[in-house]
Structure 1
Amino acid sequence: MRQAIATVSMGLGLMLFPPQIIMAQQLPLNPVKPTEINSVWGEDAQIWGTSGEAGDKWSLIRAISYSLRYLDTPKAAEVYNNYPVRGITRDRVRRSLIRFQQLLKTAKTPQEFQQAVQKEFIVYQSVGHDNQGNVHFTGYFEPVYTASRQRSSEYRYPLYFEPKNFVNWEKPHPTRLELEGRDGLGNNSIMRGNELVWMSDRLEAYLVHVQGSARLKLTNGETITVGYDSSTDYPYVSIGKEVVNDGIFALDELTLPRLMDYLNENPQELSNYLPRNNRFIFFRETDGQPPHGNLSVPVTAERSIATDKSLMPPGALALIKTPIPYVTKTGEMETKLVSRYVLDQDTGSAIKGAGRVDIFMGTGKEAGDRAGLISNEGQLYYLLLRN
């Protein structure tokens, strides 16, 4: 769902920071040494839940089924035929998922489950952005906004479907400025006639480009979903990075909520910053489907991640350790360090290298608020059966 999902399509969150690329000769994953394995494990408290709060065991089981669906495709066979890390094969990834899913269904206690996992699985760790295992985590989500089928004085900012002659466009493609104008209205644009819907807020329309998908409540009472279809041939440019480069914020103080507040309070800056990202997304209606990752299967809130699929094993079972914000009963945000089993089911144009992970946080405002606050270091591991 954003430029980080190809679903959500492009992924998958708003990338505020530049990607960090590992050295070309370094393999992306290394087996964890036996002397270090105890530091990997930590109970995934969200599976069984806590007192008074239900767990999400069955959503994790369902997410595993989505990965198994992908692994049965010819595309998966092609990808794994060229996977660079010795010992990681499609068959092994598939068997690992099947066994992990069985353990989830049959284990009577969290302790019994975890003991079985530690006994039957071995662990590979991402080398990270520094070859020391440190990974930068961000979040992405499916936004819910209002829109209209017809243009009006209120609903002026269009999302577009792919033009019929797009495959014949000469390269370099037109820039964002050329496609939608400095004001974002698309007047006199070659895109005229390709409008899918109109939105009332320019920044919200742009964030649909960044997230790659959205759920839209139309003025006629209908609700539709839209997702990534294709894009122009430009690299993604983070407007968060641009405001940092311009001295508006320091890197360590920037979050998505702060960036949005700044742009909402200074709307004239939208015409300055948005055209700096030339990557332009075309959308299609997705008939109410949940957001999909680049594996063409649904992504699951807090159980799907986006990584660089030129390096990481698609569809595989992973374990992440990183801080994630939660909403307290008083409505405040509280950050907790989590150990969480996830499925690697997405990618994004801004997710590059072994040191970047984007976590899908779900749908709607709360998911967006939480996703926008994730900008933390952590570790990424992959689990595979011993045999």
Structure 2
Amino acid sequence: MKHLLTILPLSLGLIALTPANLPLERFEISQLGTSTGYDERLLTDKKTLLQAIDHSLRYLNSQAAIRAYQNYPIPEITRQRVHRSLVRFRELVQNSPTPAALQKAVKKEFIWYRSLGNDSQGNVKFTGYFQPIYQASRQKNAEYKYPLYRRPANFSRWSKPHPARVELEGKDGLLGENSRLSGYELVWLKDRLEAYLVHVQGSAKLRLPNGQIMSIGFDGNTEHPYTSLGKEMIADGIFPAEGLTLPMVLDFLRNNPEQLKNYIPRNNRFIFFRETHGAPATGSIGVPVLPERSIATDKSIFPPGALAVIETEIPQGNLNKKLVSRYVLDQDTGSAIKGTGRVDIFMGTGKNAGERAGLINTPGQLYYLLLRE
């Protein structure tokens, strides 16, 4: 299964790296492709990019950013330099009349650092994530019976290892009063698969029976590793190892609903939620994530809030894939996004965003941009 990212709090602990295994390497401008840094979306989406830059600038002025950059393993990548880079890039975005003009200026003024990727040759696997919109109710009834839970008040005192998913919600998701989470129900959904997908995405907008929209977001998780249901299906021989997408997994589960009891309990990472009162989907560095301008990476090795360029195929509104180069901000992370070879792209909110996100399972390159000193 193509992993759709859970929006998780930022861990400030950086892994120990040596010069031999640093996550980024300086990349010569002359080796960049002619389309790298040519972002045609600027013609229609400059406002969103400027908003994403401002979100990162706000983060970089925070105490959380100061702590995060204290021990960053690449000496020339500092919080102050990342901040200066964003300030200058913002000026260039505002003043460049065309994507080509911005591309030329960025190649002239910035040093490019390429991720080593999953093979030390710069090849990165890209996936997508989104914020779903589902029907839900604040009251349980015969129609709405699959709960999402608040974080228990005594959760910090739970003994470890934490309970498995099946111990908290049962094989069918209906453990109810027999669960230690009884009384912590936040909202109920109609469909078990949709309830599980909210766990995977980490946030959602929920349409209540009275027509109001309720927004919920991540508020903690049990300390179990994330298990991809898609990978489990590959291991079981249901799908080949290559080319699996989220729509394929969802179609299988909807056509074989008896398999929900088999596969959902295999992911023991259990997510708790809180009502966010209309706040937008928020990334691990505490700022809103924006469609096709926010990415999630492994924050133990990549610089939080920094400016980056991604090159990969992204489905367009008609779901046809197109090779694109995008300026993005590194503003999120996730339980399945580990190492130098994984990036998740936030695709937005709702059905079309979900369809597009589900089709992203493609190779590409990731570059970070720092202003020349």
Given the two structures, how large is their TM-score scaled by the length of structure 1?
A: 0.91
Residue 39 of structure 1: CA displacement? 5.6
The structure 2 residue matched to 1:180, chosen from 169, 182, 192, is 169
Matched, 1:323 2:313: yes
Distance of 1:24 and 1:250 partners within structure 2: 37
List structure 1 runs of 4+ shifted beyond 6 angstroms.
none
**C-alpha offsets along residues 47-75 of structure 1, whole Å, 9 cap, x if unaligned?**
11xxxxxx100110000000001000111
Structure 2, unmatched stretches of 5+, are 11-16
Partner of 1:191: 181
Partner of 1:272: 262
Matched, 1:204 2:194: yes
**1:122 match: secondary structure:** strand
Q: Contact conserved, 2:199 with 2:270, CA < 8 A, in 1?
A: yes
Partner of 1:110: 99
Partner of 1:125: 114
Partner of 1:365: 351
Partner of 2:24: 29
Question: How many residues are treated as equivalent by the alignment?
Answer: 364
Distance 1:223 1:378, change over 3 A: same
The structure 1 residue matched to 2:237, chosen from 242, 247, 256, is 247
Residue 28 of structure 1: CA displacement? 0.1
Distance of 2:202 and 2:361 partners within structure 1: 19
Partner of 1:234: 224
Residue 248 of structure 1: CA displacement? 0.5
Matched, 1:140 2:135: no
Q: Contact conserved, 1:4 with 1:348, CA < 8 A, in 2?
A: yes
Distance of 1:209 and 1:287 partners within structure 2: 18
Matched, 1:44 2:39: yes
Q: Contact conserved, 2:37 with 2:309, CA < 8 A, in 1?
A: no
Amino acid aligned to 2:226: Y
Q: Contact conserved, 1:162 with 1:230, CA < 8 A, in 2?
A: yes
Distance 1:198 1:386, change over 3 A: same
Distance of 2:289 and 2:37 partners within structure 1: 24
**2:237 match: secondary structure:** coil
Partner of 1:381: 367
Between 1:359-368 and 1:186-195, the stretch displaced more is 186-195
Q: Contact conserved, 2:7 with 2:333, CA < 8 A, in 1?
A: yes
Partner of 2:156: 167
The structure 1 residue matched to 2:322, chosen from 309, 328, 336, is 336
Q: CA RMSD in A?
A: 1.7
Q: Contact conserved, 1:5 with 1:293, CA < 8 A, in 2?
A: no
Distance of 1:367 and 1:288 partners within structure 2: 19
Q: Contact conserved, 1:5 with 1:294, CA < 8 A, in 2?
A: no
Residue 43 of structure 1: CA displacement? 1.1
**2:357 match: secondary structure:** helix
**2:362 match: secondary structure:** strand
Q: Contact conserved, 1:302 with 1:359, CA < 8 A, in 2?
A: yes
Partner of 1:4: 5
Distance of 2:269 and 2:33 partners within structure 1: 43
**1:4 match: secondary structure:** coil
Residue 35 of structure 1: CA displacement? 4.2
Partner of 1:19: none
**1:75 match: secondary structure:** helix
**C-alpha offsets along residues 181-220 of structure 1, whole Å, 9 cap, x if unaligned?**
0110123111111000000000000000000000000112
**1:247 match: secondary structure:** coil
Between 1:186-195 and 1:238-247, the stretch displaced more is 186-195
Q: Percent identity over the alignment?
A: 58
